[in-house]
Copies of this chain bind each other. A is one copy, B any other.
């Protein structure tokens, strides 16, 4: 297989993959393109390689930046802005985990905590099932939360870092 063909396949399937994870196709494709580009590239490069409009590139690169996965870089003597992606997959993964935890898991756990405080007869099986379910999810979510914190901190902590090295 030639590089150009492999590239196209990688970008396309990374895009499809993204849609199963709440990420829009184009954003994932831009990310894929940046991951396999050795040097920083411009808006126009992205437009050309993915056949998408300027506005689309602009919105999605901003979103990737807000996720901490992509950076703007200034090339001396160049007027235009260039983009580059973090290439260390471990860092990419922890960054995504960190953001999703903050955006989704933490607020959900907060809500579940509130929902557990309903008033009602604990002998009513409807009340009991509700409290049990919500409690169960909150407990499970709390454990997941702690586990993810460990993973996120691994990079910043020598001991955990060496412990988890074999995963890299």
State the A residues within 8 Å of B (CB): 1-3, 6-7, 9-10, 13, 17, 19-22, 35-39, 87-90, 93, 100, 104, 108, 111, 114-115, 117-120, 124-130, 132-134, 136-137, 139-140, 143, 147, 167-168
Contact = CB atoms under 8 A, between A and B. Distances in A.
Contact of A13 (B1, B3, B111, B125): B111
Nearest to A90: B140
A129 B89 contact: no
How many copies of the chain does the oligomer comprise? Answer: 2
Contacts of A137: 89
Contact of A36 (B7, B36, B93, B133): B133
Nearest to A112: B10
A93 B140 contact: yes
